[in-house]
Structure 1
Amino acid sequence: MVLERINSPEDLKQCSMGDLNTLAGEMRNFLIERASKHMGHVGPDLGFVEATIALHRVFDTPKDKIVFDVSHQTYPHKMLTGRKKAYMEEASYDEVGPYTDPKESPYDLFSIGHTSTSIDLAIGLAKARDLLSGTEKVVAVIGDGSLSGGMALEGLSIAGEQESQLLIILNDNEMSIAENHGGMYKGLKRLRESNGQAEDNLFRAMGLEYLYEEQGNDVESLVKALEKAKSYEKPVVLHIHTAKGKGLKFAEEDKESWHWHLPFHLETGKTREEYNFPGEDIGELTAEFLLAKMKKDPAVLVITAGVLGGMGFYAKQRKEAGKQFVDVGIAEQTGVTLACGAAKNGAKPVFFTSATFLQRAYDQISHDAAINSLPITMVVNSASILGMRDKTHLGLYLLAMANSIPNLLIFAPAFKGEYFSLLDWALEQQEHPVLIFAPEGNVLEDEAPVKKSFFPVSYQEIPRGKKVAIFATGSLYEEGREGAKNFEKKTGIKPSLINPGILSHLDKAYLENLEKDHELVVVLEDGILSGGFAEKIASFYSLKPMKVLSLGLEKEFYDEYDLEALMKEYHMDRESMVERILEVL
């Protein structure tokens, strides 16, 4: 086996071309085997095996610096840079993370999980090299889907006026997570069809040299193309055409579903039974709700930024929505501001993405939406400790960030009926931008009458108790409810249990009312405490006798965490919170 001989990129330089072709097949087989047992990205990695081999064959890494965009295609890179055991041996699968990470290897320059950054990072590396008289080569790898991000286009423009070596590899597999959207992709198609000879060339227009390689999954062709590109002492784009999901039939036939996948049966491609989670899916329910709303009201406009399945808008749903659905690509800023323009002209826009990605549109939410009091609705998933758990994809910080924006209403509904009533209200109201954290975890049936109006603020009390009041926010409501039951069992005292619903504003009248027969308010914060909901409550009671116990996370980056262990550490689980409450009392 050739892979057994490869312990670093230096070993590739001793291989024949035949060995490299064999190596590509071995790597792909291990990647498929691992994907069948361990959740992770599939299609992007399978399509970039040969390109990774060629890159490490031609360049002298880690002296020469390769920056990968978003890291979705870096499993092959990790295999060739001393981490192959994590892809060959099931017992070692969890020894590496899903994204590049300098703590793992000197071959990884940055922790990268958000897209469209590689060109700018590479320009910075090249600029520092030139200032300090370095000689290393600098390479940026970026996919065609990532090219839709504003940062990528800005980077191309800046790169076009640089005067020293910089190589940008455009990995064109004709896909983002799903299909690409945007006028530039017509130009990329013409470049592919003309073998790179089409006159309307975006890269030349930006002032860059341009090379094209059609055989993006052939090692020998790529080595030759990279050797040529390496010889340039000025910025050049090498555009390679690859096949997303190459080598796995299911991933080749359904590229969108196999961008990332749960463990599956190799023979059928069906998800393994233990990963078929029971219960309702809030994303699919959201798509159903919005499609029904669209049919009744042509003003409803759904917008997303590349994460089409995040709220259940798969190919079937997108086709049904037709012109009332817009995918802006990797461009959250554009998504928010486009929604503002639509709202100004009478549409009812709802923009959805993952909480971690909405961070990139802070200025647009503040300046374009909030200052102008435009009634746009933003729905995010994974804004919870229950959501994504990679340090590059955490939604734990969004509330603290968004809480500083005046005129923005932020909600974290706990129940299904509450969520959809809120979504309906948000689309119809005309006074505020609204940000909704979609429920994570189990979809809960309502435990209180469903409200029809959500502002001014009115908390839901489920039920009224005494002495202790537990505020269980959003997706942590179920944990708070069970904690309240445990407290009553241990003490015989029924605490008040509150679903606040809104996190950006306080129900001051209710908080004052609690002072009559309560001595402790407990706030279960679904994220970091700094800048969160608990701080608002604590500030309200700061000059009053009421004690406030804030249970949430410290301001740190959490990575690949064990949910149960983390909640226990911070007294957020149903058992530990009771112990902490009793200590305070």
Structure 2
Amino acid sequence: MLIVDSPTDRTSSLLATIDSPRDLRRLSLPQMELLAQELRETIIATVAETGGHLAPSLGVVELTMALHYVFDTPRDRLIWDVGHQAYAHKLLTGRRDRFATLRQYKGLSGFPKRGESGYDTVEAGHSSTSISYGLGMAAAKAMQEDDSRVVAIIGDGSMTAGMAFEGLNHAGDLGRNLVVILNDNEMSISKNVGALSSFLSRKLTGKTIRRLRDHIEDRLMALSSVGENILTVLRKSEESLKGFFTPGMLFEALKFKYIGPIPGHELEDLIATLENVRDHSHGPVLVHVITTKGKGYKPAETHPGDYHGVGPFDVATGTPKKNKNAAISYTKVFGDTLCRLARQDKRVVAITAAMPGGTGLLPFATEFPDRFFDVGIAEQHAVTFAAGLALEGLRPFFAVYSSFMQRALDQLIHDVCLPNLPVTIALDRSGVVGADGPTHHGVFDLSFLRFIPNLTVMAPKDEDELQQMLYTALTHSGPVVLRYPRGSGEGVPLAPSFAALEIGKGELLRQGTDVLLLPVGNRVYPALAAAELLEEQGVSAAVLNPRFVKPLDSELIATWAAQTGRVVTIEDNTVQGGFGSGVLQLLHQQGLSLPCTMLGYADTFIEHGPQATLWHNAGIDAEGIVRGALALLRS
């Protein structure tokens, strides 16, 4: 039971006294409200230095506190969908002293991580998995006669994904004790879209429902006995009325008990509701909580999309701290180029899965609103939707992060490549992405794309080659994947006009006699730098830019491999089945048995850290390429 009358005076930080949720449960309501303020201050100050997911975590401070107050964590399981809203959770579960290392190399992860804490139930980085995870855990607990609870916290944006509804459907049928918290802030990363979002928006706050009920009761009681009879009937129908005024009927149709909507920043209401759910509910329950994304920091409340994921910023103004000398980003080049292509060709349409800002499509959406589609967090649907557009003569470009595209591999194979449709996948954030870590690194795409028939895979060495490859994709008659990294380009000028590249043809950038360096995409310039360093040591290195990962330029690669006698492949991708594997297969097919070294990521998940650090650790920066080439020459 929550204590409400303890003293509120504090001479030191309350947060400093919280080493686990057990400490939280000893606080009074006024103390918890002060703690909520401290949590927000700590999150804002830390993210201003480290970057991170600010607005999502600020929006769930009270909800996080209430969950840990009511449920016996970690015995009761909390599952954070996506996990980018779990900063308050980290602070309350023994990681306060390390919180300043958030998203820093060798520091705390920006997402839940089982190796960090027993309170982190799953490794979460992609959306809409929490209900399926939770149902599996709840089913296992029931089989083992374990009466502890499982709570899945999912944002309304994540409800747009089909996997969330698959989980809800099965949960309603299975009937196990599962609590789903629907964190409703009308936002995923950008503003929510779709019919479900519109339906959830037809809601009344808990206070509004209470006012309406009280008003009806007052009016009916004035009618004496007749009013009392009517009131008795209405009270019996309260759940039906609630379902009429709220989205409850949707979830109750899926056999969930629906509770809410309740205000998500009022601790007393949250705790009372969750205690009731904990003590009296059986079977699947959905608690609908209304929160404000970015709560407590005015810039984030006003522009929550801009503060979903941010780099370091000035707390007083909210202004980002940016490197003024940085070259234009690949993402911006993509967005600007697609607008140019759309002005020339009315068939060009753009698709995003709830990431218009992150993928550079906001200018396109503004200029061509009728040719822009945000499908919500639904990558599988996005790919097949693009196929449908292509079947009717349009030229769709689907911009998506590499690690998110993993979800739509079957659709790419079956719905796009099998019928050989002219759909272009713009694969942003390929390679390591930095502080977001293993759930977001795009280091598998070359491996899972190489085996698909009919698919052309391109990787630009710089921003100008990116725009030329986009034009090439538009002129090509089949499916294309264009792979490019996160961050700034090389600073090369952008050509004013487009020129289509010949499919499957690379370019020789440097001649050499001792070793062939075969880098792909963003590893081309480090390979050129490595060739210069090798020359200082008396080693003559040839450098090719393959441009195409599929199909490979067999003639160019085989010619220079035979001429140099040794080959080093370099890729911002796992070496398992990646670009290097394709080169080795090509050489074998050409009858060439040569000493080769493949540089890339080992068969493991890559930790979070600065891109330059991760490239260095993998030996795919200039220094590492030199080491790899010299080791091959000595072998």
Specify the TM-score bucket, using the shorter chain as the normaliser. over 0.9
SS in 2 for 1:40: coil
- CA displacement 1:519-546 (0-9 Å, x = unmatched): 1122112211111111121223244243
2:293 aligned residue (221, 244, 247)? 244
Answering whether residue 345 of structure 2 is matched by residue 333 of structure 1, we say: no
Relative distance call for 1:81 and 1:162 in structure 2 (3 A) is: same
State the shift of 1:575 in Å.
2.5
- Could you tell me whether the CA contact under 8 Å between 2:98 and 2:107 is conserved in 1? yes
Amino acid at match of 2:148: E
Relative distance call for 1:305 and 1:249 in structure 2 (3 A) is: same
Match of 1:128 in 2: 140
SS in 2 for 1:424: helix
Match of 1:461 in 2: 508
1:513 aligned residue (534, 559, 580)? 559
Answering whether residue 485 of structure 2 is matched by residue 436 of structure 1, we say: no
Mapped to 2, the partners of 1:108 and 1:89 lie a distance apart of 17
User: 1:331-410 maps to which residues of 2 (within 5 A)?
Assistant: 331-385=378-432, 390-410=437-457
Match of 2:314 in 1: 265
Relative distance call for 1:438 and 1:576 in structure 2 (3 A) is: closer
Relative distance call for 1:575 and 1:165 in structure 2 (3 A) is: closer
Match of 1:68 in 2: 80
Amino acid at match of 1:544: L
User: 1:549-568 maps to which residues of 2 (within 5 A)?
Assistant: 549-561=597-609, 563-568=611-616
- Could you tell me whether the CA contact under 8 Å between 1:282 and 1:311 is conserved in 2? no
Match of 2:577 in 1: 531
Which piece of structure 1 moves more, 391-400 or 200-209? Answer: 200-209
Amino acid at match of 2:309: W
Match of 1:218 in 2: 266
SS in 1 for 2:174: coil
Match of 2:303 in 1: 254
Match of 1:187 in 2: 199
State the shift of 1:213 in Å.
3.5
SS in 1 for 2:173: coil
Which piece of structure 1 moves more, 121-130 or 500-509? Answer: 500-509
Match of 1:497 in 2: 543
Mapped to 2, the partners of 1:333 and 1:67 lie a distance apart of 23
Among all aligned residue pairs of Structure 1 and Structure 2, give the percentage whose two residues are the same amino acid: 33
Relative distance call for 1:512 and 1:21 in structure 2 (3 A) is: closer
- Could you tell me whether the CA contact under 8 Å between 1:45 and 1:76 is conserved in 2? yes
Relative distance call for 1:421 and 1:388 in structure 2 (3 A) is: farther
Relative distance call for 1:474 and 1:45 in structure 2 (3 A) is: same
Answering whether residue 596 of structure 2 is matched by residue 548 of structure 1, we say: yes
- Could you tell me whether the CA contact under 8 Å between 1:388 and 1:394 is conserved in 2? no
- CA displacement 1:435-484 (0-9 Å, x = unmatched): 00124454233799999444541111113332322112101111011011
Mapped to 2, the partners of 1:109 and 1:49 lie a distance apart of 19
- Could you tell me whether the CA contact under 8 Å between 1:414 and 1:439 is conserved in 2? no
State the shift of 1:294 in Å.
2.2
User: 1:262-341 maps to which residues of 2 (within 5 A)?
Assistant: 262-273=311-322, 275-276=323-324, 278-314=326-362, 317-341=364-388
Mapped to 1, the partners of 2:627 and 2:550 lie a distance apart of 29
State the shift of 1:229 in Å.
2.1
TM-score, with structure 2 as normaliser: 0.87
- Could you tell me whether the CA contact under 8 Å between 1:213 and 1:241 is conserved in 2? yes
Mapped to 2, the partners of 1:111 and 1:186 lie a distance apart of 30
Which piece of structure 1 moves more, 181-190 or 543-552? Answer: 543-552
Q: Which has the higher contact order (CA 8 A, sep 6+)?
A: 2
State the shift of 1:569 in Å.
4.2
SS in 1 for 2:285: strand
Which piece of structure 1 moves more, 7-16 or 359-368? Answer: 7-16
SS in 2 for 1:318: helix
Relative distance call for 1:138 and 1:329 in structure 2 (3 A) is: same
Mapped to 2, the partners of 1:428 and 1:388 lie a distance apart of 36
Amino acid at match of 1:581: A
Moved >3 Å (runs of 4+)? 87-95, 192-197, 385-389, 439-442, 446-456, 561-571
Match of 1:46 in 2: 58
Mapped to 1, the partners of 2:105 and 2:62 lie a distance apart of 22
- Could you tell me whether the CA contact under 8 Å between 1:354 and 1:383 is conserved in 2? yes
Mapped to 1, the partners of 2:494 and 2:272 lie a distance apart of 65
TM-score, with structure 1 as normaliser: 0.94
State the shift of 1:272 in Å.
2.4
- Could you tell me whether the CA contact under 8 Å between 1:112 and 1:392 is conserved in 2? yes
- CA displacement 1:134-187 (0-9 Å, x = unmatched): 110111100011111111111111111232321100000110111001101111
Mapped to 1, the partners of 2:592 and 2:495 lie a distance apart of 30
Mapped to 2, the partners of 1:232 and 1:33 lie a distance apart of 39
SS in 2 for 1:55: helix
Relative distance call for 1:304 and 1:217 in structure 2 (3 A) is: same
Amino acid at match of 1:528: T
Match of 1:78 in 2: 90
- Could you tell me whether the CA contact under 8 Å between 2:515 and 2:564 is conserved in 1? yes
| CA-atom RMSD in angstroms | 2.4
- Could you tell me whether the CA contact under 8 Å between 2:468 and 2:501 is conserved in 1? no
State the shift of 1:269 in Å.
1.0
SS in 1 for 2:118: coil
SS in 1 for 2:396: strand
Mapped to 1, the partners of 2:514 and 2:479 lie a distance apart of 36
State the shift of 1:338 in Å.
0.4
Look at both structures and tell me which one has the larger radius of gyration over its CA atoms: 2
Q: Which runs of 5 or more residues in structure 2 are unaligned?
A: 1-12, 210-241
- Could you tell me whether the CA contact under 8 Å between 1:211 and 1:236 is conserved in 2? yes
State the shift of 1:549 in Å.
2.1
Relative distance call for 1:571 and 1:286 in structure 2 (3 A) is: closer
Match of 1:141 in 2: 153
State the shift of 1:88 in Å.
6.7
Mapped to 2, the partners of 1:422 and 1:552 lie a distance apart of 24
- Could you tell me whether the CA contact under 8 Å between 2:390 and 2:423 is conserved in 1? yes
Mapped to 2, the partners of 1:88 and 1:496 lie a distance apart of 45
User: What is the aligned residue count?
Assistant: 581
- Could you tell me whether the CA contact under 8 Å between 1:210 and 1:238 is conserved in 2? yes
Match of 2:276 in 1: 228
Amino acid at match of 1:434: V
Relative distance call for 1:475 and 1:90 in structure 2 (3 A) is: closer
State the shift of 1:262 in Å.
1.2
Relative distance call for 1:295 and 1:459 in structure 2 (3 A) is: closer
Amino acid at match of 2:353: A
- CA displacement 1:38-86 (0-9 Å, x = unmatched): 1111001101000011101111111111111000110111111111223
Mapped to 1, the partners of 2:199 and 2:467 lie a distance apart of 41
